[in-house]
Every structure is written in C-alpha cells, then in structure tokens.
Structure 1
Amino acid sequence: MIRPKPLAFALVLAFLLLAAPASAWGPRGHRLVAELAAAALTPSARAQVDLLLQGEPEPTLAGVANWADELRANDPDLGRRSAKWHYVNIGESGCEYVAARDCPDGDCVVEAIRTQATILADRSQPLPARRQALKFVVHFVGDVHQPMHAGHARDKGGNTVQLSIPDGSRDGRGSNLHALWDSGLFRDLGESEARHAARLRALPGIVAGSADPADWARESCRIVLRPGVYPPRARLDPRYIDTWRPVAERQVALGGRRLAALLNDALGD
C-alpha cells in the first residue's frame, strides 16, 4: 500500500478542515429538510416561495437548499462573510447559548436564522434581498439541526476527530466525525431521495415545538454530549451507524417541520 508523505497528508488535511465547517447533512440531507418543509407549507407561504424563487435554476426549496454551501465557489466574498453563520459552538458550555459569548456580532447560525428570517418576512425589502434571505434560511435551519454544528469548538465540530469507517478494505475508509454526521450515516441506504423523504415524513412524534433557533441549537448540542456519539476508537464499530442513523434522520425530519413553521409564519398572510 502506498502511504501519503506526512507533509502532503498534512496539507490535504488542513485544506479539508478549513473547508468542512460550512457543510452540514450533505446535499441530500439539506434537500430532504427542504422537501419535507415544502410539503407542509400553507397556500399563501407556497405562493410567496414560488414568487421569490422565480428565475432560479431549480425554483424549489430543495433546489436552493445547498446554495449557501456553494457560495465559497460561486461568490467567495459572500461565502467568507457568511462562513460563521453555519454553526455555533456551545458544547464546552454544557449546551447553554449566551449570545454575547457564543455569537459575537451575530456571526453564528442562531442569529443568522433570526436575521435572515426578519429580512424574508419584511415585504418592504427588495425582492433580491428576500430571495437571498430565503435561501439562507432554508440552509441554516438544516445546519442547526446537524448536531456537530452546535458542538465543540475544540475539535471544530468533530472535524478533527479522525475515523476509519469499515468498507471491506483492510484499512477502511478515512473520514472524520463531522463528515460522518453530514452524510456518512446516510451513505449506504440504497433508497432514492423521494423514498427517503416519504419515510421521514411518516416518522411518528415529529412536532415542531419551540420556534426559537437557540432552542434548536441547544437540542442539537445535547445529542453531541450523549454517550457514544464520540466513538471510543478511531476504527468505527459498524453498529455505530445503525445506532445513530435514526437520530440523524429524526433531526432531518424535525428540521423540515420547523422550517415549514418558520416559513409559514414569515410568508403567510
């Protein structure tokens, strides 16, 4: 087996760690949150969404769900300015959120959702500003329900926790804890996005509950602190995915329900 040179490996790892924090759930997870929300919109909210997304390549909530993650390539300046809006680090504080401490200058996912939802709801704002706010809201509500996006600062939301995931090869597939929760838990499902969405839509007991993004972050953070979320060793036990995939799927379903409630409130009559 050819092993990478230490310097080359370090450079690649550094690049991945810099790039990773703005990603949550992976493209499928964000689309699922958006699809679940779209199915629960009121007629007036749906009409506003249709108006705001006119001209988009895929003018649906799912079609813009990953737009905020693509900014680094498509709009680097906005991507840099919004980079901290994808997460909040409250794991070290026992999952208590204090805005002045955890979100200085409003640069975290909790305050970004609040700010962008306010712009979205304000019909005196220019249409392009409200369209951008909608795209941010769709993405950030997904982000805040990915537990690692409300976890520990010390390991960059699990990005520095390196893992080897069994895949039939001798050494397994290299990954990290953040990436595992982004998309690795859904990697081998073998079902279409439509069937996945239908299954999540049918999950029992998914109730929006609190409308406060700070509460959503606290809930996500508490998952991070559960025993077993951080694997005891680098080589992942195959049972880990079976244990934690249902938790991740409930978070996706909950994100969809809460996104619908937020949009119905912001865009309703």
Structure 2
Amino acid sequence: MLRLIVLCGGLLAAFAIPSSALAWGKAGHRLVAQLAERDLAPGARAEVARLLAGEPDPTLAGVASWADELRESDPDLGRRSAKWHYVNIGESNCRYSARRDCPGGDCVIEALKAQTAILADHGRSRAERAQALKFVVHFVGDAHQPMHAGYGHDRGGNSHQINYRGRGTNLHSFWDSGLLNSARLSGDAWLARLQQRTPTRDRTPVLPVPAVAWAQASCRIAVSPGVYPPRATVGEDYVRAHLPQVEQQLRDAGARLGALLNATLAR
C-alpha cells in the first residue's frame, strides 16, 4: 500500500509539472548554449564570465537548464516564472497578440524581452543581471521549441499521447527530447553534428529582441501537417521527417542567442 501511495504521488506530481518544465530537455538547452558560446565576442565572453562567476559550472551551458530547475531550487520564483516558458498561439494561426496571448507579460515572448532589458542595464546589480542572463539563455531555447508556441487546448502537445519504439510518451516530450534521443548520440557527437551544418543567416538580431518572429516561426512548425501524427504509434518515418526540423531549430537558437548576447552585452 505504501508503494502504491508513493507511485500515485509521483504520477500526480508529474502531471502537475507545467509544460515549461520540459523544454528541449537538458541536452537540447545545453546544445543551444554551447553553440552560442562559440560565437561570443571577447567583450561578451568576458561579461558572461563575470556575471556567472561563482556558479557550479560558470558557462552558458552550465546554466542553460537553471530556469527549469526553479520549482525545486526556488519554488516561489518557479511559480512566478512558470508561464514565461511558452506562448499558445496555435489556435490563432500563429499570429501573436500581446493583449490576447500574453496578459501581464506572462509568456516567453515578453519574458525574453524583459529579461534581456535587465541584462543590458548596467545600472542593475550583478545578481539581477546574472539571473537575467540565465533566463535569457533558457528562454531563447524555449522560443525555438515548436511545442512551446503551439496549441493551448492540449498544453503544447502534453495531452497528446503517442507511442514510439513500444514506449508511451506525449508529443511535447517527444519534441523536447525523444527526437534527439532517437539518434542515440552523445552530447559531444550532437554538438559536432550541429556545428558541421551551415548556421542560420539571421545572426544579428536588432534590439528589441525579435522574439515574436522566433515564436511565430516555431508555431508554424507545431501546426504544420504531419507534426500531429494520424495514429498514436509513430515510427522511424516520423523521426526522419521531423528530426531535421529539431536540428535546425537548435542551430538557429544557438546562433541567435550568441548574436543577442553580443548585442546586449556590448559596451
């Protein structure tokens, strides 16, 4: 009976976790940060090192999943920032309206703008800017995860159950990490693979942050034909069709994060 209670409690906790807690998974967020680190200008690199000094892993990759871990490390901030990881615009033909889709600024688009502004403000304390940097690293990744800009009615695919290789999961989780894991590559191998391809041409964002364009492009992937499979069981044909999209989103996110930090941290 005790084991059953523990199991049920674990299942309830899992269902209580918002979709924001699973964006790209640790591997995907780390890859975005590693790609960005490669592109940092000397001044931005030095400022990142100064702001992250004292972190267990004082690198962009080392803090890339920090915002997803807040529900355990800082529950109050985790609750306040829970809605900052996504925006639901699939039902609106992927057209963003701040009033309709982001009341109170509680979505990834406005959160990314707000945290970038804090990071750029040298009048803020080092602690405030360090926290903003960690949010920015994470939210750029979130904005490029298609399910984080998709439909609201199924919580970005969280309620859409699928089966792959005999294991049950949901569409959101499969796009977070299942597609990446299907290749069975190590983190280093994935980084090398992403670095071999031509990065996005959109490498120099003009401030304010073009987060709207990033999220709307992600949404268009989420609602495109075939992303929601016609059958619950998906196979290797689904992976072949959509893993390249995941790779390009990660590549774009890394290049854009690097360019954003270079622009934001320039003095």
- TM-score, length of structure 2 as denominator length: 0.92
2:182 counterpart SS class: coil
Unaligned runs of 5+ in 2: none
| C-alpha contact (below 8 Å) 2:70/2:78 kept by paired residues | yes
Q: Choose the corresponding residue for 1:174, options 168, 171, 182.
A: 168
Q: Secondary structure of 1:156's match? A: coil
- Taking the aligned partners of 1:20 and 1:243, their CA distance within structure 2 comes to 27
What is the distance in 1 between the residues matched to 2:150 and 2:9?
25
Corresponding residue for 1:89? Answer: 88
CA separation in 2, counterparts of 1:10 and 1:98? 39
Residue in structure 1 matched with residue 192 of structure 2 by the alignment: 198
| Percent of matched pairs sharing the same residue | 54
SS at match of 2:234: coil
Aligned length: 259
On the 8 A contact 2:199/2:251 being kept in 1, the answer is no
Find the counterpart in structure 2 of residue 54 from structure 1.
Answer: 53
CA contact (8 A) 1:17 1:160 kept: no
Q: 2:212 aligns with which of 186, 211, 214?
A: 214
Output the amino acid matched with 2:180.
Answer: F
- Post-superposition shift, 1:192? 2.3
**Residue 151 of structure 2: aligned partner:** 152
Q: Which residue does the alignment assign to 2:179? A: 185
What whole-Å deviation, never above 9, does each CA across 1:131-168 have from its counterpart, x for those lacking one?
000000000000010000000000000000011112xx
**SS of the residue 1:239 aligns to:** helix
Distance (whole Å) between structure 2 residues aligned to residue 70 and residue 252 of structure 1:
20
Q: How far is the alpha carbon of 1:204 from its aligned partner?
A: 2.2
Query: Letter of the aligned partner of 1:108 in structure 2?
Result: C
**1:183-211 CA-partner distances (Å, limit 9, x unpaired):** 00011323221221121122125222655
- TM-score, normalization by structure 1: 0.92
Distance in 2 (CA, whole Å) between partners of 1:220 and 1:10 is 34
Q: CA contact under 8 A between 1:20 and 1:159: conserved in structure 2?
A: no
- Give matches, 1:16-55, under 5 Å: 16-22=14-20, 23-55=22-54
Q: Give the partner amino acid of 2:186.
A: S
- RMSD of aligned residue pairs (Cα, Å): 1.9
Deviation at 1:11? 7.2
Tell me, in whole angstroms, the C-alpha distance in 2 between the residues paired with 1:222 and 1:203: 22
Aligned 8 A contact 1:45 1:268 in 2: yes
Contact kept? 2:199, 2:255, Cα under 8 Å: no
Where do 5+ consecutive residues of structure 1 fail to align? 167-171
Q: Which moved more, 1:112-121 or 1:12-21?
A: 12-21
